[in-house]
Chain A
Amino acid sequence: MSENSRMDENDNDKKEVSQEKMFTLKKWNAVAMWSWDVECDTCAICRVQVMDACLRCQAESKKDFYGKQDCVVVWGECNHSFHYCCMSLWVKQNNRCPLCQQEWSIQRMGK
């Protein structure tokens, strides 16, 4: 595809150049979905998908849809992940990961 790479260069120039081209891009509405980068997609504590709010947050049935604080995900050093709400309750009783019993320490938080 040598032709292709040549066209690339043209592309990287500006639209004035591409005027002779048959099809030019005017607008692109790109759609992507985000999800938590987790190994297991259910929270082992509340058994709800980590993508959804945890059971507690759902039960509070927050009516203010807009600007509502999301129920985020937290990863431990052991790389297991849970709802942050669920885990913060869990560690009050037992400071170990419910899945591997390692000492729990937060590796990173979802944002």
Chain B
Amino acid sequence: MLKEKGQLKFEDKWTYMRPIVLKLLKQEPVSPSEWQELFYDVHLVCLWDEKGPMKLRDALHEDIIQFIKQAQTKVLAQRQEEALLKAYIVEWRKFFTQCNYLPTPFRQLESSLQGKTTAGNSSIQGNNIKKGQNDESIVRKLMLDSWNESIFMDIKRRLQDSAMKLIHAERNGEAFDSQLVIGVRESYVNLCSNPDDHLQIYRENFEAAYIESTDMFYRLKAPEQLAENGVQSYMRYADQKLREEEARALKYLEAGSNGVIQCCVNVLVGQPLPVLLAECAPLIKAGETDRLQLMFRLLERVPEGVQPMLKELENHIVQAGLADMVAAADIITQDSEKYVERLLELFRKFSKLVHDAFSDDPRFLTARDKAFKTVVNDTKVFCLELNTGRAAATKIVAPESKCPELLANYCDMLLRRTPLSKRLTTEEIESRLRDVLLVLKYVSNKDVFMRYHKAHLTRRLILDASADSEKEEDMVEWLREVGMPADYVNKLARMFQDIKVSEDLNAQFRTSTARHDAINIKILNAGAWARGSERVTVSLPVELEDYIPEVEEFYKKKHSGRKLQWYHHMSNGTITFSTNGGKFDLDVTTFQMAVLFAWNQRPHDKITYENLRLATELPDGELRRTLWSLVAFPKLKRQLLQLTPSVTNPKDFTEHTVFWVNQEFALIKNGKPQRRGKVNLIGRLQLSTERSQMEDNQSIVQLRIFRTQEAIIKILKMRKKISNAALQTELVDILKNMFLPSKK
């Protein structure tokens, strides 16, 4: 065949090829041999006829246009929207399938055409590379472009409008064949032959129309819904619609086009924003988490939606929290356990609200923290007077919340052997301590907490009253973890170390002098423990006095360069009290011991206040306090000492008030006096006297000034130059673990 058709012309061959092409276009069955033939013919034409490729293309174009014209008439024959769409889609599908088949036989044509357009010489390899780059084949492009020009341009408005009408109908709840809309969209997407942005036609036409119709629809519907059903059901409506639209967009639109949702959000949420926000506060107040969640979901979509919600939440927490505190003021100012529990309960309540309604969104958590800080540091219910004595007259100290003191008290109750700590399991205590640390995070005057915590710890260690020494040390580590200043935490740790060292020392002391099994010594590092330098002088009973030189002698052998100071206001002991009524073990302070031992020489005498003062050499204040604890100990029914004339206040003791030991003393249990028993008269171990208390307050204020100065220097050394405002913020940052520096 090759030989005889040496002069092969396009015209000769086209007559054979044309019917096959037409069959292909119409999707009529084509036999394998016909299909093969077509390949061969195209090959021949391209190879032998110089003008063949051009002619072939033109002829093909002609036929395609022809075919499209037919399809167009078929489509346009449909008057009805749905039928029109259907017809269009049927035709388009057919055509589009052919777009994939028809180009195959004409590949040879393409290579020759391309070879001509690019360079003169048509080396096959070069063409192959070109073809690889240009994946849209020429014939396919030809077909699509023809479709685009002839049919699509004519009816795209109608197509779009019908499609939008269908979608509108669907929004109104009518069912229809969604394939119709999808089909239209597909034709939009596939039609575009722009290789850089193949969604161009789709975006400019279909998507734009879709957005516009959506906008129109909801612009009408939204206010209607709002007016008819009120805000709350509107929110549900809006949320539901947004979801529906999202699903719809997924169905009808190409992925990655979120213009529609944005438009919906704008119309559904952005427009009625003020109305929605007005609803926010009442919902928070009522704790309607579901609705709040709904609202959050909606408002999160608009840029300025969440901010007002945060504000509302914050306001609510502050108001509700303070109202709660004020309402319970009577109980919580007295009882630190109740106070801390109340605080934690509030905290949990609000956290739950944030969790349920706002799925723990970090912005809301911050708002909660900020508000809670306000509640914790509020001074309305109770304020801590940093009474600085003389300094107070010259400088007004801003009132601070008593919260840290109460927190420290609560810690003490958990860590000391108390009814509370006995009732709870180790795990419970641990979780409560964690809770305290949680609240502590919000306290701005942490240095006050530290002071009280240290005082409590001192008492526990000296009285050996810790419920669990492991927990104590854990607590110190936790405090370190939450960022308490290192020097403070180190001192606490040092105290534990000291106690252990002391125990060893005590053991050594006891072995060195066998007869002193009645004495326990604690010799502690003044740097870590001492609070002020003040000591109280007391003339010890001889029973105690004897030990002193011996201990000092012993200590000197162990250490050198150290001096010892006795802290008798911290020391304590147990004495046995024998009366006619029985024998009782009394836990007493050394001061109480000194007073009581005064009667050893004259058991039945009445001793005046003045004489007791001479015997004990206690300062007036201490003696009054000690006596008061013996004549009016709250837990006792029968007091240890009796006096005349009776007074209601330790201040009313006069020089001539006389005291005597109550020989009828007994512990009363179930209404019956007991013959034996043990009673603790120590109460709260006095760590400091009134004067040192004042010094303490002063020292806190003083320390704050120093810390501030120190921090300023630190910052300025780093920065050299800094604006006042920036300096202040950096200061707050550095010092916030201790206290909040006041502006000044």
Q: Tell me the A residues contacting B by CB distance below 8 Å.
A: 3-4, 7-8, 11, 19-37, 49, 51-52, 58, 61, 65-66, 68, 72-73, 75, 108-111
**Chain A nearest CB: distance from B486 CB in Å?**
6
Contacts of A111 in B (CB 8 A): 558-562
Contacts of B716 in A (CB 8 A): none
Q: When the two chains form their complex, are residues A33 and B560 in contact, meaning their CB atoms are under 8 A apart?
A: no
**Binary A-proximity of B523-562 (CB < 8 A = 1, otherwise 0):** 1111101100000000001111011100100010011111
6 contacts between A and B (CB under 8 A): A22-B577, A27-B574, A28-B544, A32-B567, A33-B567, A49-B527
Q: Is B576 part of the contact surface with A, judged by Cβ < 8 Å?
A: yes
Knowing A34-B526, A61-B486 are in contact, say whether A28-B520 is a contact too (CB < 8 A). yes
**Chain A nearest CB: distance from B564 CB in Å?**
5
Q: When the two chains form their complex, are residues A28 and B524 in contact, meaning their CB atoms are under 8 A apart?
A: no
Partner of B566, one of A22, A32, A52, A66: A32
Q: When the two chains form their complex, are residues B563 and A30 in contact, meaning their CB atoms are under 8 A apart?
A: no
**Chain B nearest CB: distance from A107 CB in Å?**
10
Contacts of A4 in B (CB 8 A): 542, 601
Q: When the two chains form their complex, are residues A31 and B573 in contact, meaning their CB atoms are under 8 A apart?
A: no
Name which of B141-149, B229-237, B489-497 contacts chain A: B489-497
Q: When the two chains form their complex, are residues B600 and A25 in contact, meaning their CB atoms are under 8 A apart?
A: no
Q: Is B521 part of the contact surface with A, judged by Cβ < 8 Å?
A: yes
In the complex, residue of chain A having the shortest beta-carbon distance to the beta carbon of B685: A31
Q: What is the CA–CA distance of A57 and B377 in the complex, to the nearest angstrom?
A: 36
Additional A-B contacts beyond A30-B521, A109-B561 (4; CB < 8 A): A23-B599, A23-B600, A33-B524, A37-B562
Q: When the two chains form their complex, are residues B522 and A29 in contact, meaning their CB atoms are under 8 A apart?
A: yes
Partner of B462, one of A22, A25, A29, A52: A29
Q: When the two chains form their complex, are residues B520 and A27 in contact, meaning their CB atoms are under 8 A apart?
A: yes
Q: When the two chains form their complex, are residues A30 and B559 in contact, meaning their CB atoms are under 8 A apart?
A: no
In the complex, residue of chain A having the shortest beta-carbon distance to the beta carbon of B586: A23
Q: Is B136 part of the contact surface with A, judged by Cβ < 8 Å?
A: no
Q: Is B26 part of the contact surface with A, judged by Cβ < 8 Å?
A: no
Contacts of A66 in B (CB 8 A): 496-497, 500
**Chain B nearest CB: distance from A13 CB in Å?**
12
Q: What is the CA–CA distance of A37 and B525 in the complex, to the nearest angstrom?
A: 13
Within 8 A of A (CB), among B552-610: 555, 558-568, 570-579, 585, 590, 593, 596-597, 599-603
Q: When the two chains form their complex, are residues B560 and A28 in contact, meaning their CB atoms are under 8 A apart?
A: no
Knowing A24-B576, A25-B518, A108-B560 are in contact, say whether A34-B555 is a contact too (CB < 8 A). yes
Q: Which 10 A-B pairs have the closest CB atoms?
A: A51-B527, A110-B561, A28-B573, A33-B526, A35-B526, A31-B570, A37-B563, A27-B574, A31-B571, A26-B574
**Chain A nearest CB: distance from B614 CB in Å?**
10
Q: Is chain B's binding surface mostly helix, strand, loop or mixed?
A: mixed
Q: What is the CA–CA distance of A11 and B542 in the complex, to the nearest angstrom?
A: 8
Q: Is B163 part of the contact surface with A, judged by Cβ < 8 Å?
A: no
**Chain A nearest CB: distance from B532 CB in Å?**
11
Most chain A CB within a 10 A radius of its CB, from B462, B490, B543, B565 = B543
Q: When the two chains form their complex, are residues B599 and A108 in contact, meaning their CB atoms are under 8 A apart?
A: no
Q: What is the CA–CA distance of A23 and B598 in the complex, to the nearest angstrom?
A: 9
Q: When the two chains form their complex, are residues B462 and A24 in contact, meaning their CB atoms are under 8 A apart?
A: no
Number of A-B contacts (CB under 8 A): 165
Q: When the two chains form their complex, are residues B497 and A37 in contact, meaning their CB atoms are under 8 A apart?
A: no
Q: When the two chains form their complex, are residues A28 and B547 in contact, meaning their CB atoms are under 8 A apart?
A: yes
Q: When the two chains form their complex, are residues B523 and A22 in contact, meaning their CB atoms are under 8 A apart?
A: no
Q: When the two chains form their complex, are residues A7 and B542 in contact, meaning their CB atoms are under 8 A apart?
A: yes
Most chain B CB within a 10 A radius of its CB, from A30, A68, A75 = A30
Q: When the two chains form their complex, are residues A26 and B585 in contact, meaning their CB atoms are under 8 A apart?
A: yes
Q: When the two chains form their complex, are residues A65 and B496 in contact, meaning their CB atoms are under 8 A apart?
A: yes
Question: How many residues of B sit at the interface, in one of the four size bands?
Answer: 35 or more
Q: When the two chains form their complex, are residues A7 and B526 in contact, meaning their CB atoms are under 8 A apart?
A: no
Q: What is the CA–CA distance of A66 and B486 in the complex, to the nearest angstrom?
A: 17
Q: What is the CA–CA distance of A109 and B525 in the complex, to the nearest angstrom?
A: 17
Contacts of B519 in A (CB 8 A): 27-30
Q: When the two chains form their complex, are residues A29 and B520 in contact, meaning their CB atoms are under 8 A apart?
A: yes
Most chain B CB within a 10 A radius of its CB, from A7, A22, A24, A36 = A22
Q: When the two chains form their complex, are residues B561 and A37 in contact, meaning their CB atoms are under 8 A apart?
A: yes
Q: When the two chains form their complex, are residues A21 and B600 in contact, meaning their CB atoms are under 8 A apart?
A: yes
Q: When the two chains form their complex, are residues A33 and B565 in contact, meaning their CB atoms are under 8 A apart?
A: yes
**Chain A nearest CB: distance from B581 CB in Å?**
12
Q: What is the CA–CA distance of A49 and B541 in the complex, to the nearest angstrom?
A: 35
Q: Is B487 part of the contact surface with A, judged by Cβ < 8 Å?
A: yes
Q: When the two chains form their complex, are residues B561 and A73 in contact, meaning their CB atoms are under 8 A apart?
A: yes
Q: What is the CA–CA distance of A81 and B676 in the complex, to the nearest angstrom?
A: 55
In the complex, residue of chain B having the shortest beta-carbon distance to the beta carbon of A109: B561
Contacts of A22 in B (CB 8 A): 577-579, 599-600, 603, 661
In the complex, residue of chain B having the shortest beta-carbon distance to the beta carbon of A107: B561
Q: When the two chains form their complex, are residues B559 and A34 in contact, meaning their CB atoms are under 8 A apart?
A: yes
Q: When the two chains form their complex, are residues A109 and B560 in contact, meaning their CB atoms are under 8 A apart?
A: yes
Q: When the two chains form their complex, are residues A21 and B562 in contact, meaning their CB atoms are under 8 A apart?
A: no
**Chain A nearest CB: distance from B288 CB in Å?**
50
**Chain B nearest CB: distance from A76 CB in Å?**
12
Knowing A29-B520, A65-B493 are in contact, say whether A3-B601 is a contact too (CB < 8 A). yes
Within 8 A of A (CB), among B607-645: none
Knowing A7-B600, A26-B585, A28-B544 are in contact, say whether A36-B561 is a contact too (CB < 8 A). yes
Partner of B560, one of A11, A26, A32, A110: A110
Q: What is the CA–CA distance of A26 and B519 in the complex, to the nearest angstrom?
A: 9
Knowing A21-B578, A109-B560 are in contact, say whether A51-B600 is a contact too (CB < 8 A). no
**Chain A nearest CB: distance from B433 CB in Å?**
20
Q: When the two chains form their complex, are residues B566 and A25 in contact, meaning their CB atoms are under 8 A apart?
A: no
Contacts of B578 in A (CB 8 A): 19-22, 24
Partner of B563, one of A8, A35, A108: A35
Q: When the two chains form their complex, are residues A23 and B561 in contact, meaning their CB atoms are under 8 A apart?
A: no
Q: When the two chains form their complex, are residues A30 and B566 in contact, meaning their CB atoms are under 8 A apart?
A: yes
**Chain A nearest CB: distance from B363 CB in Å?**
36
Q: What is the CA–CA distance of A109 and B562 in the complex, to the nearest angstrom?
A: 10
**Chain A nearest CB: distance from B726 CB in Å?**
28
**Chain A nearest CB: distance from B169 CB in Å?**
74
Contacts of A20 in B (CB 8 A): 578
Q: What is the CA–CA distance of A24 and B597 in the complex, to the nearest angstrom?
A: 8
Q: What is the CA–CA distance of A73 and B494 in the complex, to the nearest angstrom?
A: 18
Q: What is the CA–CA distance of A30 and B564 in the complex, to the nearest angstrom?
A: 12
Q: When the two chains form their complex, are residues B571 and A7 in contact, meaning their CB atoms are under 8 A apart?
A: no
Knowing A36-B561, A110-B561 are in contact, say whether A25-B543 is a contact too (CB < 8 A). yes
Contacts of A34 in B (CB 8 A): 523-526, 555, 559, 562-565
In the complex, residue of chain A having the shortest beta-carbon distance to the beta carbon of B491: A52
Q: What is the CA–CA distance of A28 and B548 in the complex, to the nearest angstrom?
A: 12
Within 8 A of A (CB), among B464-510: 464, 486-487, 490, 493-494, 496-497, 500
Contacts of B602 in A (CB 8 A): 3
Q: What is the CA–CA distance of A11 and B570 in the complex, to the nearest angstrom?
A: 24
Q: What is the CA–CA distance of A25 and B520 in the complex, to the nearest angstrom?
A: 12
Knowing A28-B519, A29-B571, A33-B523 are in contact, say whether A23-B559 is a contact too (CB < 8 A). no
In the complex, residue of chain B having the shortest beta-carbon distance to the beta carbon of A66: B497
Q: What is the CA–CA distance of A54 and B140 in the complex, to the nearest angstrom?
A: 86
Partner of A51, one of B525, B542, B564: B525
**Chain B nearest CB: distance from A46 CB in Å?**
14
In the complex, residue of chain B having the shortest beta-carbon distance to the beta carbon of A25: B543
Q: When the two chains form their complex, are residues A11 and B574 in contact, meaning their CB atoms are under 8 A apart?
A: no
